[in-house]
Chains A and B, each alone.
Chain A
Amino acid sequence: MKEWVDGLVEGSSLLQSLPIEVSYFLAMVFFSLVAVGWMAICALFFVWLERKVSARIQSRLGPVYVGGRFGWAQTPADALKLLMKEDLVPESADRLLFNIAPAIAFMATLLTFVAIPIGNGLVIADLDIGIFFILAVSSLGVIGIIMGGWASNSKWSLYGGMRAASQIVSYEIPVALSLIGVVMIAGTLNLVEIGRGQAGGIWNWYLFKSPFLFAAGIVYFIAALAEVNRTPFDLPEAESELVSGYNTEYSGMKFAFFFLAEFANLFVISAVAVVMFLGAWNSFLPWQILPGPIWFLGKVFFLVLVIMWLRWTLPRLRVDQLMHTCWKVLIPISMVLLIGVGVQMWLFPGN
């Protein structure tokens, strides 16, 4: 971003007359707006997609009316409806926490959008610790969820919040462990660098570089599903058990924030999977036929589709089974895979 602003300032006499800090500030505002807009578009599109996918799987039509063809305006209309709804705060709720909880959940997701490259160098903040930043920031979201669950002062919300806490914190570990393998092979935490490292055909993608990374990719996928509370790990909001979990008491705009964050998270985990394992913006052929962002978004779209497909297929785990899956299955396996990657690197150092 800095280079971009510097270049812009150099080319414009108007900006040169301002202090450079003002330019930076303006750029910051601009890019945060870009991030918010991008996130909103992603979330709205995914909500629509989810409806269509679920409808197809269930022999239904899904939204067809609003906006003419395919009901594309259904989700914007729903979002508008949510925004216009009365903003209810339960009487016995902790008002302050209740109000900031959705904002925290939203912010955590928004921050990750800053670091995700959707093309070669097309990233708002090209961080050297990109993947680390995403892991760190995205786990902040759980604080918002616990807060919301606690502040609602409803027993169901509390259960949801507690479940979310244990689940998300536990599943951070396999997520991180399965990503470390890639980081070891790529030798960098920078997402753009990792993406560049996978250029030149499908066999260069890290998923297919080594059998250990292939397995790590699957582990990452499963654990990431749990981290964003998707079926079969949607315990925090298990509607048949906990009514609606941590967001039981939320309505209107605040609920919309949780909802938006949830669906934007879909983009985040898929994008991370794409950057780390599926060759980022590179095509599966040695030469780039279409622009990078199209490849990238196509892959993300495919992963999101799979996630939705899973959601409408699977039942939900129980809390103890969830923990079992994490601590006794995913973490040991990802550790073994990590060692495997290490051994592989040691045996074939050039590769």
Chain B
Amino acid sequence: MSAVKKYFSDIYNSMATVLVGMATTGRTAFRKPVTLEYPDVRWELPERYRGILHNRIEDCIGCLACARACPVNCIHIDIVKRGKEEYGVTSDGTKITQWIPRFDIDMSLCMVCGLCTEPCPTECLTMTKEYELAVHDKHDMYLEFALDRDKVMAEKAEAEKKAAKEKAAREKAEKEAAAKKAAAEAEAAGKEGAEPEKPAADAEADGKPGSEEKKPDAS
């Protein structure tokens, strides 16, 4: 008996629940659609929206905090020390002591996490509301922010430094040559000298030029 009952109650249930479902969908059909006609109509993006990155490079002091914070190392910054008389100021009054010949963000690596914008002391690195990230050429994803002025100045500074270094090296070499000569003379004279010191001094002179320039992306 119960099997028969189940048979008919199953039929009844199927019919009834189908009708309930249809009533639900039918009711929804007369509600307002929630979708937008996207490219024509766009929704308003909230204040904190995290889109593509942008750097107001004029305000960047080249502190490298953003590059250090980035988990995927997609911010590449080169900095070159400015001369004292060339110091600039940002719009919030912070001193700029570096030229920034290179400030690149590889958006194709970036995961738009926003961690880089948080430590920025001058708040110049921001996330825009630009969310249409697709480009035709992947090189277009490589954003370069550095100013031409900075590039030129950095080159100049670099060249100056190099010249200075070369000059220093030359002077040093001359001095050393002189010292060597003196030593040789001394050796010739007294058969005793401070030989181990000389190579060490040489190595230092070679190693120094690179230490001016920090490369955060090498980490």
Does B37 touch A at the CB level, under 8 Å?
yes
Question: What string of 1s and 0s marks CB contacts (under 8 Å) between B5-32 and chain A?
Answer: 0010001000000100110111011111
Cβ-defined partner of B37 (8 Å) among A53, A57, A59, A61 = A61
A312 touches B33 (CB 8 A): no
B200 touches A (CB below 8 Å): no
Which range contains the number of A residues in contact with the other chain? Answer: 10 to 19
The reply to whether A312 and B35 form a contact with Cβ atoms under 8 Å apart is no
User: Closest residue to B15 on the A side, CB-wise?
Assistant: A218
Contact present for B25 and A309 (CB under 8 Å): yes
Given the known interface contacts A57-B25, A59-B28, A309-B26, the answer about A314 and B35 at a Cβ–Cβ threshold of 8 Å is: no
CB-based contact B35/A313 at 8 Å: no
Chain B residues with Cβ under 8 A from A58's Cβ? 28
Task: Answer yes or no: A285 CB below 8 A from chain B CBs.
Answer: no
A60 neighbours in B (Cβ, 8 Å): 33-35
Asked if A26 CB lies within 8 Å of chain B CBs, one says no
Residues of B within 8 A of A343 (CB): none
User: Is A129 among interface residues, defined by CB-CB distance under 8 A?
Assistant: no
- One digit per residue, 1 when the CB lies within 8 angstroms of any chain B CB and 0 when it does not, for chain A 280-311 equals 00000000000000000000000000000110
> What chain A residues lie within 8 Å of B34 (beta carbons)?
59-60
What is the bound-complex CA distance between A313 and B28, given in angstroms? 11
Q: Given A314-B18, A329-B11: A61 and B33 within 8 A (CB)?
A: yes
CA distance A346 to B18 in the complex (A): 35
Contacts of B33 in A (CB 8 A): 55-56, 59-61
Residues of B within 8 A of A65 (CB): 37
Given A309-B22, A313-B18, are A57 and B11 neighbors across the interface (CB < 8 Å)?
no
A169 within 8 A of B: no
Structural contact, A59 and B35, CB atoms closer than 8 A: yes
Chain A, residues 309-329, CB within 8 Å of chain B (1/0): the string is: 110111000000000000001
Shortest Cβ gap from A26 to chain B (Å): 47
B22 cross-chain contacts in A, Cβ below 8 A: 309-310, 313
> A232 CB to closest chain B CB, in angstroms?
8
Determine the chain A residues whose CB is within 8 A of the CB of B28 once the complex forms: 56-59
A64 interfacial by beta-carbon distance below 8 Å: yes
- Chain B residues closer than 8 Å to A56, beta-carbon distance: 28-30, 33
Measured in the bound complex, the distance between the Cα atoms of B41 and A61 in whole Å is 13
Contact B31 A314 (CB under 8 A): no
Q: How far is the CA of A57 from the CA of B32 in the complex (A)?
A: 10
Residue of A nearest to B29 (CB): A56
Give the CA-CA distance A329 to B9 in the complex, in Å: 12
B29 contacts A310, C-beta separation under 8 Å:
no
Instruction: For the complex, give the distance between the alpha carbons of A58 and B29 in Å.
Output: 7
CB distance from B24 to the nearest CB of A (A): 8
Which residue from chain A places its CB closest to the CB of B27 in the assembled complex?
A57
Q: Smallest distance from the beta carbon of B149 to chain A beta carbons, Å?
A: 47
Point out residues on A near B: beta carbons under 8 Å: 53, 55-61, 64-65, 309-310, 312-314, 329
Residues of B within 8 A of A (CB): 7, 11, 18, 21-22, 24-26, 28-35, 37
Given A309-B25, A313-B18, 4 other A-B residues pairs in contact with their CB atoms under 8 A: A57-B25, A59-B28, A310-B18, A313-B21
8 closest A-B pairs by beta carbon, nearest first, are: A56-B29, A313-B21, A313-B25, A57-B25, A59-B34, A60-B35, A61-B33, A57-B29
Q: Name 14 interchain pairs, CB-CB below 8 A, sorted by A.
A: A56-B33, A58-B28, A59-B31, A59-B32, A60-B34, A61-B35, A61-B37, A65-B37, A309-B22, A309-B26, A310-B18, A312-B25, A313-B21, A313-B22
